[in-house]
Amino acid sequence: MKVKERLEEVRERIQKAAIIVGRNPDEVSILGATKGVDPERIEEAIEAGLHLLGENRVQEAERKIPLVRGNAEWHMIGHLQRNKVKKALRLFSMIQSVDSLELAQEINRRAETPFEVLIEVNTSMEPQKHGVKPEETESLVEKCLSLENLKLRGLMTLGPYPPSEKNSRKAFALLRELRDKIQEKFAIDLPILSMGMTEDFEWAVMEGATIVRIGRAIFGERS
């Protein structure tokens, strides 16, 4: 199956999931997760109308982004080490994976103008995953709001592994509830909920995702 056909299938699945819960499918953006994907396949996706892309590693992004032709916005979606922040700010328009105050402070220090970020929350409470604990999210948000070169746009999470409807939806619902509570407490607008990947994006859509990060379902198996 070609990238264009795969992308169309993902769009149809998002539409069905959104309609089930009474959402407008247009509220959901697809981010193509390009880890291990060659520039040619990425260009196919851009030609098919995918203009939001994400990389997990600065090193791979640095090598790959200059080779990709076509108009696209790139987000950092993987764990970011503080010593890679300077490069990340050059490569990406958003860092979705801010998981500590130290990382937030380093972005604030390095950015020359307010830079868009999401706070990554470990809603499945799995020890192998990055992300701030749900109960510590509010505190991190409060500290981030005092950093003048940080523009907080929302929250991000990875669903539990292995995925199941009950556990995945519970983790995604928790992110939405946290966001709603934080918006109310600090009187701010956090429009983005980045959650859901190839294995679980329909459940994420049902729980309020505004960005789903899709790799294999669009690009096939990684090289």
The full length of the chain comes to 223
The 8-class DSSP code of residue 70 comes to S
CA angle, residues 137, 215, 192, in degrees to nearest 5: 35
Residue 34's nearest CA partner among 10, 15, 60 is 60
Tokens of 216: 């294999």
pLDDT at 7: 98
pLDDT at 74: 98
Between the two ends of the chain, the Cα-to-Cα distance in Å is 16
- Block residue for tokens 């030609």: 47
Reported pTM: 0.97
Residue-range domain boundaries for the chain: 3-218
Q: What is the mean pLDDT of each run of 10 residues along the chain (223 residues)?
A: 97 98 98 97 98 98 97 98 98 98 98 98 96 98 98 98 97 98 98 98 98 98 79
Superfamily of segment(s) 3-218: Alanine racemase (3.20.20.10)
Its sign, for the CA torsion 197, 203, 205, 210, is negative
pLDDT at 223: 67
CA distances (Å), origin 59, targets 16, 129, 142, 188: 37, 21, 31, 34
Residue 119's nearest CA partner among 182, 167, 165 is 182
pLDDT tens digits, 17-41: 999 999 999 999 999 999 999 999 9
pLDDT tens digits, 137-176: 999 999 999 999 999 999 999 999 999 999 999 999 999 9
Residue 119's nearest CA partner among 136, 151, 141, 135 is 141
pLDDT at 5: 98
pLDDT at 222: 81
Tokens of 110: 């390095």
